[in-house]
Amino acid sequence: MSKERVVLAYSGGLDTSVAIPYLAEELNAEVVAVAIDLGQGGEDLEVVRQRAEGCGAVAAEVVDAREEFAVDYCYPAVAANALYMDRYPLVSALSRPLIVKHLAQAAIKHSATVVSHGCTGKGNDQVRFEAGLAALAPHLSVVAPARDFAWTRDKAIAYAQKRDLPIDVTTKSPYSIDQNLWGRAVETGFLEDLGNAPIEDIYSYTADPAQPRDGDTVVISFDGGRPVALDGETKTAFELISELNYRAGQQGVGRIDMVEDRLVGIKSREVYESPAGIALIAAHQELENITLEREQARFKRGVDQRWGEMVYDGLWFSPLKDSLEAFIDHTQKHVTGDIRLHLHAGKATVTGRWSDASLYDFDLATYDEGDTFDQSHAKGFVELWSMPAKLAAERNERVKKGE
């Protein structure tokens, strides 16, 4: 009988490299390593692929999911103005469902019955992997060596040295870092002390916002809620986000230092950088401010927040998230136009907006000549608007007196 096959989500780092021979032995299985390119940059993924083979994978592949990530994951996050706890642009949370999708496809292709990932038992990512798999490929079982076999860093280093695995154990950073096109997440190490300020070394997508330099100005064009052009030049989603990461990153835009509520119940210190994410959401929010009708806009803020929480909590593939997205998509019909952003000293500031679908009416808004707003209607409107609160206040007085 042929051996069972395990599809491993492979990053090229120490933990998932060690997992290859370990899983092969422990489960008496063949390991297929799959690395997903989400625009994380850094190491050449062909080198990563060869390393997986060097560690004993029977097959190793790299999936180029960069454009798919940008179009189907980052852009919906822009439409939802997605900031968990009003700050975190969901960098890691957006990537996991797409990784899961490609792992499930690889499992079919390689007739695997098991999927493996490198997450620990303390984080959100294990939930995102496994909740995603439960929805997309419920027949697959899951093994997470770091969590299920209590792997530690020291144990992994010793194992890699004993087996002479082709991985440099000395370069492992003191932080846990996850990065992709949408940004970077840095945690652990000295950041676990909430009083410690982040040091410049931990950043890589952004320059120090405190350094004096000239600012930059960019015009972002949206069509139906989706960014389509930078400074008038049409771009694919991947190109647009990459370019904006560079330009906003040069100005130190998108650094976030926060304490966050994890799904597993703990609070954790996280440092993020998401230059394009923060710039695009600022621009998109402003375009909504001029194109969404007031009640729709107010209601959408709650939907946006819920969408972000669902995605954070690992429920990308779930009915409520789909329903919220149907609402969000419906609201984006008129979110078309241009936003000018000034990028400087860590901030992305809106300085201009233009839209053919704008609800801003100059003649109604102006305090100058040509005002078309009929102020004579206001007095009666205000009176009726205030009536319920006035009646309640009168009642409170009356009841109190009767005590």
DSSP state of 122: T
Confirm whether 87 is a catalytic residue: no
Confirm whether 274 is a catalytic residue: no
Q: How many helices (H) does the chain have, and how many strands (E)?
A: 14, 14
Q: Is beta strand 114-116 parallel, antiparallel or unpaired with respect to 141-143?
A: parallel
Q: Mark 45-84 with x for binding to ligand ARG (rule: CB under 6 A) and - for no binding.
A: ----------------------------------------
Residues 7 and 32: beta-carbon distance below 8 Å? yes
Of 241, 270, 238, give the one whose Cα is nearest residue 255: 270
Q: Which stretches does DSSP call E strand in 10-110?
A: 29-37, 59-64
Minimum CB separation of residue 268 from ligand ARG in Å reads 6
C-alpha to C-alpha distance for 162 and 213, rounded to whole angstroms: 50
DSSP state of 229: E
**Which residue in the set 178, 286, 288, 304 belongs to the binding site for ligand ARG (CB under 6 A)?**
178
Minimum CB separation of residue 129 from ligand ARG in Å reads 11
3-state secondary structure of 233: strand
Structure tokens at 47: 């080198």
277 annotated ligand binder: no
Contacts of 384 (CB under 8 A, 6+ apart): none
Q: Mark 265-294 with x for binding to ligand ARG (rule: CB under 6 A) and - for no binding.
A: -----x------------------------
Structure tokens at 108: 């079919």
Which one from 92, 125, 184, 304 is the annotated catalytic residue?
125
**Which residue in the set 15, 30, 187, 273 belongs to the binding site for ligand ARG (CB under 6 A)?**
187
The C-alpha angle with vertex 252 and arms to 337 and 284, in degrees rounded to 5, equals 20
Q: Mark 231-270 with x for binding to ligand ARG (rule: CB under 6 A) and - for no binding.
A: -----------------------------x---------x
Through-space distance between the first and last CA atoms of the chain, rounded to whole angstroms = 87
3-state secondary structure of 49: helix
Confirm whether 361 is a catalytic residue: no
272 annotated ligand binder: yes
Binding to ligand ARG in span 85-104, by CB under 6 A: 92-93
Binding to ligand ARG in span 116-145, by CB under 6 A: 124-125
Confirm whether 96 is a catalytic residue: yes
Total of residues contacting ligand ARG (CB under 6 A): 10
Structure tokens at 116: 């493996």
Minimum CB separation of residue 320 from ligand ARG in Å reads 19
Q: Which residues bind ligand ARG (CB under 6 A)?
A: 92-93, 124-125, 176, 178, 185, 187, 260, 270
Residues at the binding site are 9-17, 88, 118, 120, 124-125, 128, 176, 260, 272
Residues at the binding site for ATP are 9-17, 118
Catalytic residues: 15, 96, 125, 176
